[in-house]
Structure 1
């Protein structure tokens, strides 16, 4: 058995030749292949071959992904010019459930990493990102977490036949965030699954909690010394430090009411939402294509890019929330915006599932079980 990998810029025909397939045969194999585009094979792709000293390669396997491979087998009855049979195979994953989590010392990713022994170190950040995606309407995980907050997540763990492990879906989670409890769980209505909080309200709401998907806060709402003017001024919003060009998202559905230059804000965007809300995004490098006054935008749409225009010393996003024309602390204004509740006829099923899921979440940390049905369908849907 011989194992090799595709090198950067190397033609696949040369790799097959190195694996023991004569060059002219290798060229015909690739020409006849229905599963492989030789131009799109990535560097690092693993190629395994069975080679005889007398007859050369009898089988060549390309591992295109963890769960996908293409097997070429030499055959006198192949019925092709190359004399090789091609078979594409999809490997099945097995799934169980595990509990991960930890205590916050600095960041969400750090807390998850310390308590996610069930996953390889190189995929633990994906667990944190999956949780952040669910919570982005309720918690700004770059700002709201405090040292000592706790995180526990019940989630799927998927294993490939070759031993590879990856995270699946989050099933339920409980966090303490600055002293308050935040719960979420997956629940199915008909054929569609979505996430709800512990009170049965949808995790999706009218607003995201932060305008950047990957972010960190550089200052908070209140008084600060302006970094350029050198005076203490009311800092009416939040600053998110981020690299120049980082996409800025619309915090909610709305219409653009201003897109241009405005004094110390530099290049700035203002979006009017329902219920008297206006969100303002300052120091922008550029607007996204199609963004101008009068443009309707949907929640999460990329509307601009982080910059350092106006009175700014480094790339960051200055973000403000105004309600009925008055500045409001975004932490307060957005915290009370929640999603729609479940219909009353679904609550009994929801409450039963919640009890079972959180019993598993509160079970032994090192316990894992074959994934049982944990998403319930409402009868009649």
Structure 2
């Protein structure tokens, strides 16, 4: 084929392409750039321009629609997962590497040690092994609510280490290796500071005390130890009653861990102000009023809680013998096994079985005062000659001896003569005397000054008839040997 024929064929093919591009407007643009004598023979420059425009048009027709589809397309609706096998754990990782698998259990009210071990997945046999370690049982069986016990459990689930606080200053770690247990004790530094807290009751004592910064243990000390003989906290309290306490706070690693040690307290209710000051007498801590008389009464009225008075003191028909005779005590109906408390500090005079009393305990409180507790289902751990303190459990309610049902028979005797336990005048506690009284007054003066200063600060602008609710805690001088918190 000759060269002119070849050029004519290319020109014809190009004209066909121009017809294709005519609809999108490129044809007009192309004509503007072509020579006027379009039907004349093209040179090399003409063909380069034409090829360039054709290429641009083709790219635009191809790329732009594809780009639009990429934007509008949704993500894939399904996917597949490829499982990759992991290498097995080494023996050191499974059983010997410490510190990477601790489980911390916080003791809740009502929980037992068995509950804690079970929650951690530790079997009872392992718990028994831990308790058999010297000194461990005494600590773990007396953990209080809020205390923490930690278990180091590797992947295989066998207990490796157990950690707990022996006291506020010492932490114990027991490492189990087969049948061998190794112990590590570390000391934890604590600091103590003395603070003053004051509050006014608006809805409840508990809420007011918590707002004032008192912990539940400090509230219990105030209600169950200091003022329990003088104030009935279930009946006597009214909105507007006020309290103030001076207490020691124990801090460890930035955490307040104890506020139960109340050094002094005042409570205003029913138009009266009650005071209580902590003082050590004969190596034992007690609370005394402002005049140095112990707040702890010599006897509690009822040696059993949550019981119903089922038979009073005096003449009655005996429920078994059917004869009229003097009932020389009072009866409290309660369920079998209910704890019975010592009415006061005493020495155990008798503990055993005695005729119609069944299982009975007789306590000698001194100064001719004795108490008797009869019909027990079982006796407590005390025997004749041992000392007991007020409130300690000496036995449990039962129905032994001449009894028609579970109850406690309680007698009160003065120099061998029976008295009505519900109405007898209790002997007053012995006040502090001599050097003890002088030391007590020297100790209580600063505490009372702190309380008065706090109350003047809080209630200075309060009216006499109605005072606004207010609570505040202020740091006082650090206790001896402690640091400012």
* TM, length-normalised to structure 2: 0.47
Gaps of 5+ in 2: 1-88, 101-126, 141-146, 153-160, 174-183, 459-469, 481-485
Shift of 1:186: 1.8
Shift of 1:327: 3.4
Shift of 1:321: 1.4
- Matching of residue 219 in structure 1 with residue 309 in structure 2: yes
1:103-139 Cα deviation digits (max 9, x unpaired): 8x9xxxxx64232224899x62x33443356449x72
Equivalence for 1:148: 236
CA–CA distance in structure 2, aligned partners of residues 211 and 130 of structure 1:
20
Equivalence for 2:276: 184
Report the number of matched residues: 308
Gaps of 5+ in 1: 1-17, 30-36, 49-60, 72-85, 106-110, 376-381
1:253-309 Cα deviation digits (max 9, x unpaired): 23515742443x4432223343221201123112234635xx354434653333343
SS where residue 171 of structure 1 aligns?
strand
CA–CA distance in structure 2, aligned partners of residues 308 and 179 of structure 1:
45
Q: 5 Å matches for 1:126-275? A: 126-131=217-222, 134-135=225-226, 139=229, 147-149=235-237, 152=243, 154=245, 155-161=247-253, 163=255, 166-175=258-267, 182-187=274-279, 194-203=286-295, 207-209=298-300, 212=303, 215-219=305-309, 236-237=329-330, 239=332, 241=334, 244=337, 246=339, 248-249=341-342, 251-257=344-350, 259-263=352-356, 265-275=357-367
Question: Residues 256 and 297 of structure 1 are in contact (CA less than 8 Å); yes or no, is this contact kept in structure 2?
Answer: no
Question: Residues 307 and 317 of structure 1 are in contact (CA less than 8 Å); yes or no, is this contact kept in structure 2?
Answer: yes
SS where residue 209 of structure 2 aligns?
coil
SS where residue 472 of structure 2 aligns?
coil
1:341-360 Cα deviation digits (max 9, x unpaired): 23264475256336315425
Shift of 1:340: 2.8
| Aligned with residue 319 of structure 1, among 395, 410, 415 | 410
Equivalence for 1:372: 477
Equivalence for 2:369: 277
CA–CA distance in structure 1, aligned partners of residues 422 and 455 of structure 2:
30
Shift of 1:368: 0.9
* Closer, same or farther: CA 87–353 of 1 in aligned 2, 3 Å: closer
Structure ranking higher in helix proportion: 2
* TM, length-normalised to structure 1: 0.58
* Closer, same or farther: CA 94–134 of 1 in aligned 2, 3 Å: same
1:299-334 Cα deviation digits (max 9, x unpaired): 3465333334343544x5343312234333435546
Q: Which structure: larger Rg?
A: 2
- Matching of residue 92 in structure 1 with residue 190 in structure 2: yes
1:65-86 Cα deviation digits (max 9, x unpaired): 4876689xxxxxxxxxxxxxx9
| Aligned with residue 164 of structure 2, among 51, 54, 64 | 64
Equivalence for 1:25: 96
